[in-house]
Amino acid sequence: MARTSLDLRTLAGQLLTFGFDGTEVSGNLSSMLKTLKPGGIILFARNIESPRQTHALLKAAQKHATIPLFRCVDMEGGTVDRLKNIIGPAPSVQEVATAGCKTYFREHGRLIGSEVSALGFNVDFAPVLDLRFEASLTVMGSRTVSKDAKATVAYAREFLRGLKDVKIAGCGKHFPGLGEGKLDSHQALPVVNKSWKALWAEDLVPYQMLAKQLPFVMVAHCAFPEVTGEAIPASISKKWIGDVLRKKIGYTGLVVSDDLEMGGVLKVASIEEAAVATVQAGADMYLVCHNEELVQRAYEAILNEAERSARFRAKVETAALRILTAKKRWPALTKKMATAPSETAMNRLRQKMWTFGEEVRLTANVQAAEAAD
């Protein structure tokens, strides 16, 4: 991979995607964007008040950044729907999957992609590729498709095509799979005692089959001691990221850690240790989604380790160059940000999603009734 003339601080910043408080670019956020030079930002419901405000926030953030940003959001539909308060709810993955129509799968991605694109986002951290096992139903709920890996792939492939139709980059998550995890990784570290053979034949199938179609893969804070020999999160495991995802599966897209503020990783490492470890393991990017102090500490930890270790600096450079290359080549990331959506345009999107949701639910109810007979 070609070298770059960018300084180390800029390269280190590209690995960081962070969240923040507020609904506009404050003086503090402006300073962070200029000094940290992050690869991306992520918005949550707390940042989103209206379509025009959200678009203005993303546009202003991009203006303060010297390099194009990944403008990210978690938009799956159902329980993970950051836009429902301003556009209306999108049907859940489970509702669309139960309806069982391949056309619906792609339309789900296309409509969600149209909404996030209209607001100024270019990355949607979806679809979920975790299998729908009994162990995780309490935690995952309607976010998963099926315990059948091929059914999960069928939905995800079309959803990704729908996103691509409107030039939005998708992300498969949560590698290697939270399907057998009984705990919520936001609060604790799930430990899955499942053999490598079983994981390869079930949970990892979506990544094997979709590797060439996934712009991003998000790695989970979940431990698999049968594979690694210790109870450490996959998000900081070289075995999982470097050996399995990169080498065995052959994934060449961007690897991003789940939020490093989550209990699933902070129960076993400090924010500094987690940031360095995920990059050491082979991740290109890491998320720090809420706390400004932790954002700064994670960034400084990466920078300090890169200054201390030539080997780690090489990892930072490789990851940053992969990110910068993607930003130059991917249609989702090279396209210009659309103008602020008109109220007429937003009403059209609301109506389309409402109609789609009603059709999906009606079809799903019919399918469920027929299955019960």
Rounded Cα distance, 30 and 63, in Å: 9
Contact 156, 96 (CB under 8 A): no
Check residue 218 and give left, alpha or beta (phi > 0: left; psi -120 to 50: alpha).
beta
* Residues 309 and 4 sit within 8 Å (Cβ to Cβ): no
Active-site annotation holds for 186 = yes
The catalytic position among 186, 203, 259, 284 is 186
Helix (H) or strand (E) holding 256: strand 254-259
Closest CA to 167 of 119, 214, 210, 123: 123
> Edge-to-edge, what's the strand order for the sheet holding 285-288?
123-124, 70-73, 40-43, 16-18, 285-288, 254-259, 216-219, 171-175
Whole-angstrom distance, CA of residue 52 vs CA of residue 157: 31
Task: Enter the tokens of residue 11.
Answer: 């390269």
Q: Which residues contact 365 (CB under 8 A, 6 or more apart)?
A: none
Which position has the token pair 């996103």? 163
Give the number of other Cβ atoms within 10 Å of residue 101's Cβ: 16
3-state secondary structure of 138: helix
The enclosing H or E element of 319 equals helix 310-329
Paired sense of beta strands 216-219 and 254-259, if any: parallel
The residue annotated as part of the active site, out of 130, 258, 259, 284, is 258
User: What is the crossing angle of helices 271-281 and 292-308, to 10°?
Assistant: 50
What CA–CA distances, in Å, run from 263 to 7, 93, 136, 173, 218? 33, 25, 17, 18, 16
> Is 290 designated active site?
no
Active site residues: 186, 258
